Structure 1
Amino acid sequence: MSRENNDFFKTQVLGHPAGLFVLFFTEMWERFSFYGMRALLVLFLVSALGIGGWDWPRENALALYGTYLALLYLTPIIGGTLADKYLGNRKAIIIGALIMTFGHASMAIETPFFLYLGLGLLVIGTGFFKPNMSSFISILYKDFPEKKDGAYTIFYMGVNAGAFLGIMLCGYLGEILGWSWGFGLAGIFMLLGLLQFTLAQGIFGEAGSKPNKDNKKIEADDHTEIEDKLNPFTLIDKIIIVIVAALGLTWVINDPLSKIGEVNFLEFGGTDYSGQTILVTLVLFVFLLGSRIVRYSKITRDKMIAVVIFAFFIIFFWASFEQAGGSMSIFAKDYTSRILSGNSALIFNIVDVIITVVPIAIITWVLFLLFRQTFKKYLISNLILGFSFVLIWGIVVWKIYNNFNTYSYEISYQTYQISETNNQGKETTKTYAITANTKLPENAVLVDNTTVIRSANDFVKNDKIAIIDIDKKGVNYKYLTDEQAELIDTNISATIIKKKENEIQIPATWFLILNSLFIIAFAPLFSKWWESKYNPKPANKYAIGLFFLGIGFAFLAYGASGIPQGAKTASVSIVWLILAYLFHTLGELCVSPVGLSYVSKLVPARMIAFMFGVWYLALAIGNKTSGKMGSMIDDITAKYDISTFFLIFTFVPIIIGIIALLLNPVLKKLMHGVK
């Protein structure tokens, strides 16, 4: 597609082809779906049965979460290869989006089979979708390299816009109306994104419609091209790759399976060999990597060692950063004071309206500009895209109305207390709520309890309601009308005591939108920093990013310092979570620009696919480690306290950051002038 015959560039929106914005909105809806589901997954699994959750132990939920994230970074290696050799980018994107749509639909059913099926489909679909969207832009701008940076900037704004909207709306519906609503909404927008992309195919011409094997030319100097021919993958290399892949995949999947399903593929003769398996896998992988690297000349070998060191840093970064959707979500749900009243509630609602409406208004304006260029030629695609935004605005208006018209009520309900003896012979007093089915024990003592519920219904004093269950924290609930209460005999009878004016509860998922907001706010400043004479060296960028990450967790550790040992709930200020997300985002902005660009600059042609695989493997290990470390939250809280749990994530990144600073001179030497 030469400059002269490039139809893709004939329609312009904000100085770029209209087709770029078709990709922008496709990616936006995919990220909407991904981040919307991610925001809900762990909260849904650990929430009490009575409020629609599955009441899983935190360890099990975070093990599944870590495995899901790890697999998301492994399948793109396969999906990208299939697109390059057989499918082409466009078919791969459509296949991936379709599979992910079915995945989200499965999760909305909320049964164990469909949850695991849904997660599996999302992993497979992401493998096709994720690598091909980015490489598709590269192909479209092949003859316009000077415009590529701007194109990727716009594209990644779509990524963050989708993440922001998905977390906010799917999270809100999931927590307020029910988990199925949140999972279902993610699927609806994935489907709409698929349809608008498929029906606007003509705007891309022939680009991406065929395999890329003939189109992808990777720059390499002469000595690396000669070396590549002398260093083919041997039979032993290929055997080790197969063994490492099989053992690693088995371990990743077996971790949650052994906890949740009590099926352990790595248990033989009553002994669990999980630790030995992953150790053997890592040793074999390091041997494979080392044996490949030493076959190259000194300069090439040095550059590849630099990539491996960068990959090592990235493992520790993502192992800590991805606590956002795991242990930090649990902290938001169970340990953070999310109830605001009076002026604080009013200010929060106003701020929430601003940060909701302004970004959507800006994106709607971009949509209008796209409509002006493409409406007649791609009518159905544009109508679907327009319907998507009508739906978004409808949900946003309902959300705003609901936030300003939801009341808080103090209610009373009856419980009974009995003395029980535990396994150690110690006598404890336990409290149980009284339902229609309850048969009171002889030694029961009746006690009136109170709690607070939030509802859009306008109740008055002494109104009767029926609560399905009281969550562990005592503030989440589901209630039934009198007519519905007659149909369920396991409800808790409750009475309205009084209406509490101007009190709201912030959804636990709301805090996750801060990452996207801070990226949009600070990315331009960091971009100017990287272009200035003060642009840090790569190792220093990693170090700064890791320091920011550690500082974020330090705020959480300090905020949680007053929570007693073993506590399952608390009410610390929301300020600490906000500060943590701010510094984590600053860290991400330091680390994200370094990664893949250095792989492409430092690695010789024949090793490029293998080293990209190594890089994604490092991301997968980091994400799985995040789940593994996050699952220790209960053990560490029980033995020490939750502040100690966050202190681990404070010191580990800072120590690795110091190592990165010390290695800067070594890395500068290894990179041989590559900048």
Structure 2
Amino acid sequence: MSQTLEQQKTYLGHPIGLFILFFTEMWERFSYYGMRGLLTIYIARSATSVVNEGPGLGWTGGDALWIYGWYTMLVYVMAIPGGIIADKWLGQKKTVMLGGLLLCLGHGTLAIPSESAFFSGLLLIILGVGCLKPNISTMVGGLYKQGDPRRDKGFTIFYIGINIGAFLASISVGLVAYYYGWHAGFGLAGIGMLIGQIVYMAGQKHLKHVGNFIGKSEDPKVIEAAKKPLSKIEKDRIVVLVLSFLIIIVFWSAFEQAGGLMNLYTDVKVDRTIGSWEIPAAVFQSLNAGYIIIFGMIVAGFWSWWKLKGKESSSLFKMAIGTIIMGLGFVFMMFASKEASSETFGKAAMIWIILAYLFHTIGELCASPVSLSFITKLAPLKYASIMMGVYFAATGFGNKLAGSIGEASQLESHKGELVGTVEEMNTLTEKNTYEYVIDGNKKKIIDYPINEDKNIQIKSRVFIAETGQIKFEKYDNQTDISHIINLSEDSKKNLRDELKEFDATSKNPMHTKLLFEKDEEAVKIEANKGDGKNYSLNFVMEETQNKQEYNIFMWIVIYTVVFGLLLILFLKKLKKLTHGAEEKSSDLADEPAEGFELADAQQ
């Protein structure tokens, strides 16, 4: 077995199979991160919007983050059945093949402009990632023989491949969606997945000895390992793995704010203009991946140097340090929130987002690649893919927690309806240019938004007048617009309480962006066009929203740093339970009862 691994053809000192898996995962991540960068913004974009990428699903920001949390959790939780399928029936290699095919179908379905196609595509992607993700990572570990010192570097190279895909996707998919529409962006992500599947299928000759179904192995050592009950050392190592999954949940619950809360925050609260060009919010998702490409080998080299100096460099220590550094990145989001709230309807500078993603990336490079390698060192042979699946499930639970944290940052909207006349609304708004495609020809119309059944947004001052009534005034000229608004009774009560809490008066008002949206079904009826009816109202108070976001960012900093410090505090005890699994093979080769390296499982 080890002889077969030693005879592998190499490139740049690593098995050629690593680069097949590198390019497969690169394009799979291109598809995933390209789609993820659009997900929350598409869901939260108004269903009657005509700006930039076009109409979305019209859900609230909180609902978008709820979907994001469940989706990203299920993507990774499905790694458990994906691992079981590989271990019990198909083997890792065939299960990756199945996952790739499902992903091609899923991303292709997202390109269809239909709500049912959108959710069907998400389901197929969940199933596809569940089959592919844990098994392709386990196959990387299987390329190296027991105790091979190249393994951690191999995972770092693999990790850079992941992020090249993410970097290319965040820019190209985001720009394509911005200029050609959401579904063109989703379609480009699908093309990336198709390329990845072709690479994987073409490179099978370099993967003959890795990822095979061990149930069919004729190697007596493999058969014995599969039947043998767990030893005391293996059980101790599983305990360490389970505890390490807790820090993984904490890490990803903060890190995955990137695709959720930070994505929405960038879209709404960050000044993204350079000259006359506004950078699409989804493009900022490329920062993390770009930083990884730049700093990946630098961070890996630092830890190698650190180890040569005789300093603590275990995987658990790196995970703890990575979590702390990543958490400190949210300090910059606190600065962003402070800057945005320093003036009415203010926005934060891009530098805060850029610095936050830099710290998140350095933290990720310390924690994530080594955590993958750590599992391949500690997991018992017969539970190899299952334990990798549990790791990704822990990542999934972290993603769900990330979605819940993001939801908590989004205040429930005050609701009402528009009762003003068309004439009144025309005096309160400005004409816009709208483009339509009619019988294949583009047609431009310059008109007031209410005449075209488009969304209307009015910046407003809000306070409790001396008469005790809630008063709305147009922000720029203080025109009284209270009479065009009819609030629901619950919203009226909640808004009054909120205004009292902030002591909002005419001299010290609160502020909001009133969003009037025409009912999607009413828009479809031509006879309703321009009648000014069927407009709902949703808004949150800027001051309260800014305060809520600041508090969320602050608490993320606190709990990530605390968890990281706790892991360091108990580091020595946890390292004892690994029984030297991270030591070189010379210390492990004579201990067959103590465990295995995943390379032992391959033929």
Query: TM-score, length-normalised on structure 1?
Result: 0.59
Per the TM alignment, residue 323 of structure 1 is displaced from its structure 2 partner at its CA by 0.2
Contact 2:87 2:213 in 1 (8 A): yes
Cα pair distance change 1:205/1:605, threshold 3 Å: closer
The SS at the match of 2:274 is strand
Structure 2 counterpart of 1:579, from 340, 352, 355 = 355
Question: Match for residue 279 of structure 2?
Answer: 506
Match of 2:248 among 292, 297, 314: 314
**Who is 1:212 aligned against?**
214
Match of 1:329 in 2: 263
Task: Please state if 1:166 is matched with 2:166.
Answer: no
Partners in 2 of 1:591 and 1:204 — Cα distance?
A: 29
Could you tell me how far 1:576 is from its partner in structure 2?
A: 0.4
Residues 142 and 656 (structure 1), Cα distance of their counterparts in 2 relative to 1, 3 Å cut: closer
CA distances 1:499-532 after superposition (whole Å, capped 9, x unpaired): xxxx211111121111112112222222123223
Superposed counterparts of 1:251-650, under 5 Å: 297=232, 302-341=236-275, 503-531=276-304, 532=307, 533-564=310-341, 570-602=346-378, 604=380, 611-635=387-411, 637-638=544-545, 640-650=547-557
Measured after TM superposition, the shift of residue 197 of structure 1 is 3.2
**Deviations 1:59-83 (CA, angstroms, capped at 9, x unpaired):** 1111111111111212222223323
Kindly indicate whether the alpha-carbon contact (under 8 Å) linking 2:37 and 2:285 is maintained by their aligned counterparts in 1. yes
Report the CA distance shift for 1:216/1:29 in structure 2 as closer, same or farther (over 3 A). farther
Name the CA shift for 1:182/1:217 in 2 (closer, same or farther; >3 Å).
Answer: farther
**Structure 1 residues 546, 153: closer, same or farther in 2, change over 3 A?**
closer
Question: Deviation at 1:615?
Answer: 3.0
Match of 2:81 in 1: 78
Amino acid at match of 2:331: A
Partners of 2:19 and 2:320 lie apart in 1 by 35
Residue 483 of structure 1 is matched in structure 2 by none
Listed as ranges, the gaps of 5+ residues in structure 2 are 413-543, 583-603
Q: Find the aligned partners of 1:146 and 1:336 in 2 and give their Cα distance.
A: 44
Quote the residue 1:41 is aligned against. 39
Match of 2:108 among 105, 126, 148: 105
Kindly indicate whether the alpha-carbon contact (under 8 Å) linking 2:319 and 2:368 is maintained by their aligned counterparts in 1: no
RMSD: 3.5
Q: How does 1:179-194 map to 2 (within 5 A)?
A: 179-194=182-197
Question: How big is the shift at 1:602?
Answer: 4.2
Q: CA separation in 2, counterparts of 1:216 and 1:543?
A: 41
SS in structure 1 at match of 2:239: helix
**Corresponding residue for residue 32 of structure 1:** 30
- Structure 1 CA distance, aligned partners of 2:144 and 2:386? 25
Contact 2:141-2:373 at 8 Å conserved across structures: no
Q: Does 1:135 align with 2:138?
A: yes
Alpha-carbon deviations, 1:14-61, whole Å to 9, x = none?
A: 455655434332222111111100111111111233132222111111
Structure 1's 62 and 601: CA in aligned 2 closer, same or farther, altered over 3 A? Answer: same
SS in 2 for 1:171: helix
Are 1:565 and 1:641, in contact at CA under 8 Å, matched by a contact in 2? Answer: no
Deviations 1:328-380 (A, max 9, x none): 00111000001122xxxxxxxxxxxxxxxxxxxxxxxxxxxxxxxxxxxxxxx
> Is the contact made by 1:337 and 1:574 (CA closer than 8 Å) also made in structure 2?
yes
Letter in 1 for 2:120: L
Partner of 1:241: none
Q: Deviations over 1:156-193 (max 9, x none)?
A: 33211111111110111112221111101011121232
Partner of 1:657: 564
Amino acid at match of 1:75: M
Partner Cα separation in structure 2 for residue 96 and residue 524 of structure 1? 29
SS, match of residue 536 in structure 1? coil
Q: How far does residue 195 in structure 1 lie from its aligned partner after superposition?
A: 2.8
Residue 196 of structure 1: how far off its partner (Å): 3.8
1:555 positional shift: 0.8
Describe the shift of the 1:175–1:570 C-alpha distance in structure 2 as closer, same or farther (beyond 3 A): farther
For 1:661, the aligned partner's letter is I
The answer for the alignment partner of 1:400 in structure 2 is none
- Aligned equivalents of 1:54, 1:622: Cα separation in 2: 26
Provide the C-alpha distance between the structure 1 equivalents of 2:289 and 2:371, rounded to a whole number of angstroms. 20
**In structure 1, what is the Cα distance between the partners aligned to 2:385 and 2:138?**
14
User: Any idea what the Cα deviations from partners look like across 1:206-237, whole Å, max 9, x if unmatched?
Assistant: 445852335599999x9x999x63x7xxxxxx
Residues 136 and 316 of structure 1: CA distance in aligned 2, closer, same or farther (over 3 Å): closer
Question: What is the CA deviation profile of residues 82-130 of structure 1, one whole-angstrom value per residue up to 9, with x for unaligned ones?
Answer: 2344334443233221211111111112322111110110011112222
Aligned amino acid, residue 617 of structure 1: A
Change (3 A) 1:99 1:602: closer
- In 2 relative to 1, CA 55–94 (structure 1 residues): closer, same or farther, beyond 3 Å? same
Amino acid paired to 2:138: S
Q: Is the 8 A contact 2:138 2:376 kept in 1?
A: no
Contact map agreement 2:334 2:553 (CA 8 A) in 1: yes
Show the counterpart of 1:154.
Answer: 157
Distance 1:140 1:177, change over 3 A: same
**C-alpha contact (below 8 Å) 1:564/1:641 kept by paired residues:** no
Q: Residues 142, 538 of structure 1: CA spacing in aligned structure 2 closer, same or farther, 3 A cutoff?
A: closer
Tell me whether 549-558 or 635-644 shows the greater mean CA deviation: 635-644
CA contact (8 A) 1:24 1:158 kept: yes
Separation of aligned partners in 1, 2:197 and 2:555: 42
Q: Point out where structure 1 has 5 or more consecutive residues left out of the alignment.
A: 232-295, 342-502
Pair 1:136–1:545, CA change in 2 (3 A): closer
Following superposition, the deviation at residue 538 of structure 1 comes to 4.3
Q: Please state if 1:667 is matched with 2:567.
A: no
Do the aligned residues in 2 keep the contact of 1:560 with 1:643 (CA within 8 Å)?
A: yes
Aligned pair in 2 of structure 1 residues 558, 310: CA closer, same or farther (>3 Å)? Answer: same
1:66 and 2:64 matched? no
Contact preservation (8 Å) 2:95, 2:131: yes
* 1:661–1:573 Cα change, 3 Å: same
Evaluate the alpha carbon distance shift between residue 31 and residue 219 of structure 1 in structure 2; reply closer, same or farther with a 3 A threshold.
farther
- Is contact 1:46–1:54 with CA below 8 Å preserved after alignment? yes
CA distance in 2, matches of 1:624, 1:156: 23
